[in-house]
Structure 1
Amino acid sequence: MTRYMTAGAAALATSLTLATASMAETTPDLRGAWTGTYTKVSPSRVTTGDAPRFHQGEWLLDIQQQQDNLFWGPSMWRPDAGTDWRVFDATGTISLDGSGTIGIVESSADPQVGVNALVDARYQDGKIYADFRSLRRGTTYSVVLERQVN
């Protein structure tokens, strides 16, 4: 009986090793700074009239830590280069199916703000294609993020 349990444990260990190796092959290393510019649309407000507002902006996603398919880093955005960055935390996951699908939650350290946005993204051809949806202000945009080389 011990021989069968040992063989079973060895088979399980081999399966887990192969699964981990497979995940490493399909999970991209996203660590680093990713930037892109976009045009966003925000809902109208009482002070701006009835029309939605379109604005330009820049997003910097600085993925500082990655463990397997999970990552974390600051998510920063600003309307132009002359404006200070607004900083949030981004936590994300890369799908294990090898598709390059990424899900990101952007949140604030301020408990009154909490989760700020959800981002659906895809890693393809060395770029991150992201669709941003604000949960607080209704702002949306799509952006192509490219890795910055230092």
Structure 2
Amino acid sequence: MFKKILVAVSTSSADSVLAPAIEAARKYDAQVVALHVVDPSPSYIGGADCNFGLIVEAMEAHGHRVVTHVRSVLDTHALPAEVRMVTLPFSGMTVGRAIAAVAEETGADLILLGRRSASRWHWLSEDVAAEVMRHSSQPTQIVSDKPVANPARRGGRRWIDVTAAGTW
């Protein structure tokens, strides 16, 4: 049914959204296209004396670490996969629109997104899922966070080991 599955990974939802993507890829014998979008726009709110170039460089360096982690997880599961990172321009592009554009470019049949984080400041941020659905005709699924089988294992680590989390 699905030949390419685009999975949008963020720094906070990389593992929780990768597990269902891997499961779906195995079920449908599909290729995974993992995408991490770096959005430097929040850094422009800083003070006038900030060096925005250094901030964006740091954000991109962190994005490369996320992409490296995603690549290693996908390699561990021996799936045909492509991993990309996109840095948004200063204006004219949103995270949701970038995800929809990459989905169209790669010919993705399904788009998987992580659940929006609950914060009292959520009204300040973009509703990525709504933006993706507005700019893409592909089916879009929001993946809820799966509970980790051993929560103590998560302490002090940025990412969990998907295979050790009991999702397989």
Which band: TM-score by shorter chain?
A: under 0.3
Rg: which structure is higher?
A: 1
> TM-score scaled by structure 1?
0.26
More helix by share: 2
Relative contact order (C-alpha < 8 Å, sep 6+): which is higher?
A: 2
